[in-house]
């Protein structure tokens, strides 16, 4: 009998507390939130056919987070990291903005906002750059970061002949790598 009561109470408590489901979040809390299933929530926009204006909705992305679940980012971290709750989608483009890189690499963000740092850490890796190395350069020479990150057809990434596995823990130079030419058919 005690087991049945425990199971019933557990189900009731889970339903009362609720899980975070991206599609059920208000749009003003969507960006930089993580659902109970570990997937990032993203804000998407569309033109409403009935109203004829831009509308926003919160969706579950395919981007999974290993280190945290059920996370709604705090206003303090949104401000400290220089991100915007109304940002649509997930993009590494913000890394090209000098003021954003400075805020992201600031101690207030980098050491106290693991969700945002994890997101941009992975976005930077996708571009071939280590966020920790980018922040080291940002602290020592902010103008150099923007010179090296700004791209006009070249992708930024690690330079040198060191294999990827040997780069962990070591400083390496951030530089340009030639992008492949587009293919036309």
Which of the pair, 76 or 12, is modelled with greater confidence?
Answer: 76
Please tell me the distance from the alpha carbon of residue 45 to that of residue 77, in angstroms, as a whole number: 24
Q: What is the pLDDT of residue 19?
A: 94
Query: Is this prediction's pTM over 0.75?
Result: no
pLDDT-derived band of residue 13, with 50, 70 and 90 as boundaries? very low
Tell how strand 174-177 and strand 155-158 pair up: antiparallel
Q: What is the pLDDT of residues 96-153, one digit of tens each?
A: 888 899 999 999 999 999 999 999 999 999 999 999 998 998 888 765 555 555 543 3
Residues paired with residue 46 on neighbouring β-strands, in sequence order: 55
Q: What is the pLDDT of residues 53-95, one digit of tens each?
A: 999 999 999 999 988 999 999 999 999 999 999 999 888 988 8
Q: Which residue has the tokens 């981007």?
A: 63
Whether the per-residue pLDDT at 161 is higher than 80: the answer is no
Q: Which residue has the tokens 């700004």?
A: 150
């Amino acid at each position: 009998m005690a087991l049945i009561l425990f199971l019933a109470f557990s189900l009731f408590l889970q339903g009362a507390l609720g899980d975070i489901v991206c599609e059920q979040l208000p749009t003003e809390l969507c960006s930089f939130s993580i659902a109970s299933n570990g997937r990032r929530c993203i804000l998407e926009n569309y033109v409403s056919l009935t109203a004829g204006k831009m509308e926003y909705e919160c969706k579950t992305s395919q981007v999974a987070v290993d280190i945290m679940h059920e996370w709604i980012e705090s206003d303090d971290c949104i401000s400290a990291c220089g991100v915007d709750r109304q940002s649509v989608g997930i993009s590494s483009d913000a890394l090209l903005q000098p003021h954003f890189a400075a805020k992201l690499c600031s101690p207030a963000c980098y050491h106290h906002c693991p969700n945002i740092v994890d997101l941009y850490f992975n976005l930077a890796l996708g571009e071939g750059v280590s966020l920790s190395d980018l922040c080291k350069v940002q602290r020592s020479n902010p103008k150099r970061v923007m010179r090296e990150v700004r791209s006009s057809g070249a992708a930024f990434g690690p330079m040198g002949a060191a294999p990827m596995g040997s780069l962990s823990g070591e400083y390496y130079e951030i530089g340009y790598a030639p992008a492949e030419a587009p293919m036309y058919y």
